Structure 1
Amino acid sequence: MAGNLIWFLLIGNVVDLLSVTDDLGRAGPANAASGMAVHDDCKLKFLELKAKRTYRSIVFKIEEKQKQVVVEHVGEPAETYEQFTEKLPADECRYAIFDFDFLTPEGVQKSRIFFIAWSPDTSRVRSKMIYASSKDRFKRELDGIQVELQATDPTEIGLDVIKSRAS
């Protein structure tokens, strides 16, 4: 796991350097987010989840050709955690938000907003690089994230992990 993190950091810096030129080789602004814009719908859906609890989850995808992060899926308020994790592809990277409800040991109902950086081992190296180098900027656009998880396989985002990180 630590080796993967070092790999992502090194590759992320290379991607940042490569993003200084566009597809035609023209110089452009270097961007710590590898040139990925965030579609307004991403921020809108997140605000609706956070403030109105309109959704239980949101899955985001980077559209490489459009160079932007877009909403791929929203989960209705009744969606379970298992239904949410089924929406994460086995071999492609994604960002995801899940609003997790739980009871404290004192019996108080609470919720935590989780940000999940999903980067399965079986996904393409280029995709892992782009998602890793774009993550921090994307997260800054979503004010109100309470817990962050980085996962490469389903065991790292199991319900037991979520419960342990919620309190």
Structure 2
Amino acid sequence: MANATSGMAVNDDCKLKFLELKAKRTYRFIVFKIDETVKEVIVEKLGEPTQSYEDFTASLPSDECRYAIFDFDFVTEENCQKSKIFFIAWSPDTSRVRSKMLYASSKDRFKRELDGIQVELQATDPTEMGLDVIRSRAA
């Protein structure tokens, strides 16, 4: 079902892969991309459970917008193992203005399709989603 404001539909595979990450921890991260030819958000890349945060950030293009989900594992001050599901709206300064507008206008609708996001980050350069930022937002 396309959204009237952005015209973007969400491919069912996006929801399916997100549920697998959330319920079964099949993936460490998922990178989503808007396919402008079919006006749909699609899965671009899946990260294996063994991959690191560095692998995840390296999979984001430096000059194109993306949406991404990252399953962040951490240990609390009480020494409890926890995880939080991050939604990251990646919109680098070097990406096209049209692309930034498209991703910005489609973001809320896309996020609503993924039930279980715990933390949201908006990043325009790698420092805004550095591991220190992720750690501070997870706590």
Structure number with higher strand proportion: 2
Q: How many residues align?
A: 138
- The alpha-carbon distance between structure 1 residues 30 and 40, as it changes in their structure 2 partners (threshold 3 A), is closer
Unaligned runs of at least 5 residues, structure 1:
1-28
TM-score by length of 1: 0.81
**Aligned to 1:61, what secondary structure does the other structure show?**
strand
TM-score (norm 2): 0.98
Q: CA RMSD in A?
A: 1.0
For 1:119 and 1:84, how far apart are their aligned partners in 2?
15
What CA deviation, in whole Å up to 9, does each residue of 1:89-144 have, x standing for no partner? 00000000000000000100000000000000000000000000000000000000
Segments of structure 2 that go 5 or more residues without pairing to the other structure are none
Task: Mark the structure with the bigger radius of gyration.
Answer: 1
2:53 matched to which residue of 1?
81
Q: Is the helix fraction higher in 1 or 2? A: 1
Residue correspondence of structure 1 range 97-112 to structure 2 within 5 A: 97-112=69-84
The SS at the match of 2:4 is coil
Query: What is the CA deviation profile of residues 38-75 of structure 1, one whole-angstrom value per residue up to 9, with x for unaligned ones?
Result: 00000000000000000000000000110000000000
Report the Cα offset of residue 31 of structure 1: 1.2
Q: Which residue of structure 1 lines up, in the alignment, with residue 18 of structure 2?
A: 46
After TM superposition, give the deviation of residue 30 of structure 1 in Å: 7.0
| Cα distance in structure 1, aligned partners of 2:128 and 2:16 | 28
In structure 2, how many angstroms separate the alpha carbons of the residues matched to 1:142 and 1:83? 22
